[in-house]
Chain A
Amino acid sequence: MKKSEPMSESYYYILLCLAKGANHGYGIMQMTEKLSGGDVIIGSGTMYGATSNMMKKGWIREIMSEGSGLERRRQYQLTESGREALRAEIQRLRRMLENAEGV
């Protein structure tokens, strides 16, 4: 497997927020803020760019939520390769952390 590049914080948190199920942009934004204790904020421009790029990479896909009319919303769902990318990134971060502890 080719060595993956480090992910940007926004990519990482978006994937993390989708790990347990599909969510819409606003939900991802709120969940990220909560998870990071307010440290990481994903603005709309960053969100649109990151989701566009990750859809191109095939890490996430767009789905329409259940319901009718205004309840129907655009949501993002993690794909298998997205899950793999997230797993690889977590492994990379864990290794780096372990390395730091070993010094």
Chain B
Amino acid sequence: MSKQYKRSFRFYSAWNYEREIEDLNRASEQGWQLVHGGCFHNRFVKNPGIRYRYQLDFGKIEDMGRYIETFREQGWEYMNSTFNGWHYLRKLYDPALPEEAYEIFTDRESLHEMNSRWARIALGIGIALALFAVFYAIRFFSRPNLPYGIQLLMFLMESVILLRGSFLMRNPDASRNRRGDSTIVALLLAVIVLGSAASITLSDLRPHFWTEQKAAAIDEPIRDRRWGTFKVKYPDCYYLDLKLEGPSPVTFEVIREDGESVYRASGEHFEEKRIRLVLPRGEYCFSLTCDDAYHVAAELD
């Protein structure tokens, strides 16, 4: 028995919606009738005995009853809507009818209105994402590290995709419906999902450490007292804010598991922020050496 149902996982970027309509019409001609239109996949049923023409509409429908009735009056069947506001409509194909009978927007203004509805939302989200990108750019350039870098790149990509989409949707004469455009956008979206997941995972793996140690007086000198073990799971840039105080010099070190000192500072009044440490994978700890009262505050991020 031949297959009766099929799913198609083709993704269409919003500004290429006319391409999706063409593909649905072609599928119907070949006997595959759309039963449910989705954002990322479409469901079809095999029925070679019938032929439909399809249309897509976008936007919030205030009065669904009136909407369905208005379309039904001209032979359109409202099928379903996607979660993000696209509506699928179909009409039985009749070769006797002129092509205009299968249009739902018959003047420039209403087509422009529909396109603008999407373009406006995309512009709003695109600008919001661009602001996020700026925010991450500031964070990244003040403290460059891998998760911020990835996040910055993702927000930049997202905002460029949406702003470009908004422009293309608003300008029907622009080169939209270009072959391959939707595929590239789908790939970029996959990259963005993976990149964001990677950035969240990497952020979680980054050690973050804050400690404050003090003693008003000590009985005997401290030599290399270790505390604050932390693990670096992937090589990256880290930043240390350090403050040392004491009546005599206090020495602070960051030591790797093999005993090698990665960073060392010493002084009676030492304060420095954003000390950049490039740390390879491994286990590290802090070390303290002093002869007298001490106060150490260290933050590693």
Chain A residues with Cβ below 8 Å from B109 are: 8, 10
- How many B residues, CB 8 Å from partner? 24
Chain A residues with Cβ below 8 Å from B108 are: 8
Q: Is A74 in contact with chain B by the CB < 8 A criterion?
A: yes
Asked whether A29 and B73 contact (CB < 8 A) given A45-B104, A74-B66, the answer is: yes
Asked whether A48 and B71 contact (CB < 8 A) given A41-B100, A74-B66, the answer is: yes
Q: Is A52 in contact with chain B by the CB < 8 A criterion?
A: yes
**Beta-carbon contact of A26 and B107 below 8 Å:** no
**Beta-carbon contact of B104 and A44 below 8 Å:** yes
Nearest CB on A from B100, distance (A): 5
Chain B residues with Cβ below 8 Å from A8 are: 107-110
Interface residue from B63, B66, B105 paired with A46 (Cβ < 8 Å): B105
Q: Is B142 in contact with chain A by the CB < 8 A criterion?
A: no
Q: How far is the CA of A41 from the CA of B104 in the complex (A)?
A: 10
Chain B residues with Cβ below 8 Å from A41 are: 100, 103, 106
Interface residue from A10, A44, A46, A50 paired with B73 (Cβ < 8 Å): A44
**Beta-carbon contact of A10 and B66 below 8 Å:** no
Asked whether A25 and B73 contact (CB < 8 A) given A48-B66, A49-B114, the answer is: yes
Q: Is A24 in contact with chain B by the CB < 8 A criterion?
A: yes
- How many A residues, CB 8 Å from partner? 21
What are the interface flags for B184-215 relative to A under an 8 Å C-beta threshold, 1 for contact and 0 otherwise? 00000000000000000000000000000000
Interface residue from A26, A46, A62, A74 paired with B106 (Cβ < 8 Å): A46
Q: Is B136 in contact with chain A by the CB < 8 A criterion?
A: no
Nearest CB on A from B266, distance (A): 74
**Beta-carbon contact of A46 and B104 below 8 Å:** yes
Chain B residue at smallest Cβ distance from A45: B104
**Interface hub of B57, B66, B76 (most chain A Cβ within 10 A):** B66
**Interface hub of A10, A25, A42, A46 (most chain B Cβ within 10 A):** A46
Q: Is B62 in contact with chain A by the CB < 8 A criterion?
A: yes
Q: How far is the CA of A26 from the CA of B76 in the complex (A)?
A: 12
Q: How far is the CA of A48 from the CA of B67 in the complex (A)?
A: 6
Q: Is B94 in contact with chain A by the CB < 8 A criterion?
A: no
Q: Is A19 in contact with chain B by the CB < 8 A criterion?
A: no
Q: Is A47 in contact with chain B by the CB < 8 A criterion?
A: yes
**Beta-carbon contact of A43 and B104 below 8 Å:** yes
Q: Is B251 in contact with chain A by the CB < 8 A criterion?
A: no
Chain B residues with Cβ below 8 Å from A43 are: 74, 100, 103-106, 110
Nearest CB on A from B111, distance (A): 8
Contacts A10-B106, A25-B69, A74-B69 known; list 9 others, CB within 8 Å.
Answer: A8-B107, A8-B109, A8-B110, A9-B107, A43-B105, A43-B106, A44-B76, A45-B105, A52-B62
A-B contact pairs, 6 of them (CB 8 A): A9-B107, A25-B73, A41-B103, A43-B106, A50-B110, A51-B70
Which A residues are within 8 Å of any B CB, using their own CB?
Answer: 8-10, 24-26, 29, 41-52, 62, 74
